[in-house]
Chains A and B, each alone.
Chain A
Amino acid sequence: MNDLTAAATAAPPAHRPKLSFAWVGVVPFVAFAVLFLILPTLQIVTGAFRNPAGEFTLANVANLFQPSILSAYWISIRISVASAFLGCVVGFLLAWAIVLGGLPSWVRSPVLTFSGVASNFAGVPLAFAFLSTFGRLGLVTLVLRDWFGINIYAYGFNILSFGGLTLTYLFFQIPLMVLIVTPALDGMRREWREAASILGASGFQYWRMVALPILWPTLLGTFALLFANAFGAVATAYALTGSSLSIVPILLFAQIRGDVLQDPHLGYALAFGMIVVTGIANFIYIWLRTRSERWIK
């Protein structure tokens, strides 16, 4: 059994005076993680570099650089950047309003609770909610049309598009930002602000020279996390657009279902590309997070 040997080699060195079998206690967990998390992922990663005969090749990865797939990655990245950026900005303003904005204290707890709910409310139901609100017969669409004479669809808005998908993703991006940045804003010491104003700094100068430099790693890190969050989301996009908008997760979904490409190794490469993108984003998040912890406990 591979797992046992893996656990054994990683166990504390045997030359310690008391030889312990404590590592046996984590064998079930390690075995589970290896079988249902590590090995499946490795299978995909190695598959991306193999041809159907099992030989090493870069052809699959090279095949990603065809126009249709590149454009799918490009749309995915744009949607993820747009929804992560807007999520960060709006979420930050919202968190600022409830932490430092002088709002009555009873506002804070409902906002945070709701953020906890909404950040977990992704997937198919979220798509339905936005279809019945911003779709062709949705509440907002009809209200704008009948009361204000504005037909948003005549202006080129479409819920099944880049803009529509970004608008929908914001429903779980903003709350996630609020949840992550609120503790950081809580950690901003009163004394910093007072010290700045004693030295004659204006509010703007305080934000530009003190607050933002301290918050910067948190903000950038959260941006990376939100990016990964949007990039890996399949269900919302699939339920919203079917396969009409080809973003990477939907392309991969169709590929696994066997609808289109008929080349499993291109599927491996697609999935590998997704891991690379979300992996980089998450790495940036973790790295910046450890940096921001120097200031904000």
Chain B
Amino acid sequence: MKPNRFWSWIFLAIGVLYFLLPLIGTFEFSLKMRRGVYSLDAYQAVIFDPRFQATFGYSVMMALATIVVGVLLVVPTAYWVRLKLPSWRPVLEFVTLLPLVIPPIVIVFGYIRLYNTSSWLPLTGTAMGTNVLLMFGYVVLSLPYMYRAVDTGLRAIDVGTLTEAAQSLGAGWITIMWRVILPNVFVAVLSGAFLTFAIVIGEFVMAALLNRPAFGPYLQLIGANRAYEPAALAVIAFAITWGCMALIQVVSRFAPRPPAQPH
């Protein structure tokens, strides 16, 4: 089995080289703003740029709003379908997979046509309305990840028994959701939330076409006009993505295990 292992190392080395080179290249480039020496000037220029702070803040707020709305929409629905409407599960699976099939640019094009100022629901007429529309768009983009994460989380607990136990103790639906179901799927929700956060922070197409001052369009603008700052921004963006994924790894250690097989 010697040659076998030799080729494994070769493939791994090629892979590592391909994935590390752009990261190293970006990092190195981001340090070259001052001629002749390595410096953090590009990072300084970026972080103290008021537009960076404004757009980044905007995208963080959008990400948090997206997560809250996504959780409020997905958790009760996934719970309800598991409990009362199992026959609906394939439908939900299908609908939540659609955002992976329909390109985001098509969805946002539809929004612009459907909710423009002369339509029955003129969401794009005001800044607030457009923000809400963009947030709903982000909820759609995060549906595949959020739904799957929550559904996996629900699989690990006995939804029916927990619900009956809570009901026999006199709990209403809101109490059940808030104090029984949500704490049990909290870890799953968190991993969906971090993924949503990473997606929303870097999203470009929807924000650009709805004309909102988000981080993605700012990135693109800087990329078109500057040399070294984009590399610094790419490093920051990669650090955020990496941070979100690391947090998913950390929280998933605390996830409840699926119930043991019945004897």
Task: Check: A69 CB closer than 8 A to any chain B CB.
Answer: no
Q: CA A132 – CA B233 in complex, angstroms?
A: 12
Task: Check: A47 CB closer than 8 A to any chain B CB.
Answer: yes
Cross-chain contact A274 with B106 (CB below 8 angstroms): yes
Chain A residues with CB below 8 A from B103, complex form? 231-232, 234, 249, 274-275, 278
Chain A residues with CB below 8 A from B36, complex form? none
B113 CB contact (under 8 Å) in A43, A118, A134: A43
Cross-chain contact B15 with A90 (CB below 8 angstroms): yes
The smallest C-beta distance from B63 to any residue of chain A, in angstroms, reads: 14
Cross-chain contact A139 with B21 (CB below 8 angstroms): yes
Which 3 residue pairs are nearest across A and B when measured between Cβ atoms?
A: A40-B110, A101-B8, A133-B25
A44 CB contact (under 8 Å) in B29, B110, B204: B110
Q: CA A3 – CA B111 in complex, angstroms?
A: 18
Range of interface residues on chain A?
Answer: 35 or more
Chain B residues with CB below 8 A from A256, complex form? 105, 108-109, 112, 209
Cross-chain contact B95 with A128 (CB below 8 angstroms): no
Which residues 192-224 of A sit at the B interface, judged by CB distance below 8 A? none
Report which A residues bind B (CB closer than 8 A): 10, 12, 20, 22-23, 25-26, 28-29, 32-33, 35-37, 39-44, 47, 90, 93-94, 96-98, 101-103, 107, 111, 113-114, 116-118, 120-134, 137-140, 170-171, 174, 228, 231-232, 234-235, 238-239, 242, 249, 252-253, 256-257, 264, 267, 271, 274-275, 278-279, 282
Cross-chain contact A129 with B238 (CB below 8 angstroms): yes
Q: CA A29 – CA B143 in complex, angstroms?
A: 11
Between A and B, how many residue pairs show CB distances below 8 Å? 250
B241 CB contact (under 8 Å) in A101, A121, A171: A121
Q: Give the dominant DSSP class at A's interface.
A: helix
Q: Give the dominant DSSP class at B's interface.
A: helix
Q: CA A65 – CA B66 in complex, angstroms?
A: 39
Cross-chain contact A132 with B245 (CB below 8 angstroms): no
**0/1 per residue, B132-157, Cβ < 8 Å to A?**
00001101100100000000000000
Q: CA A133 – CA B24 in complex, angstroms?
A: 8
Q: CA A281 – CA B57 in complex, angstroms?
A: 37
B205 CB contact (under 8 Å) in A29, A107, A235: A235
The smallest C-beta distance from B14 to any residue of chain A, in angstroms, reads: 7
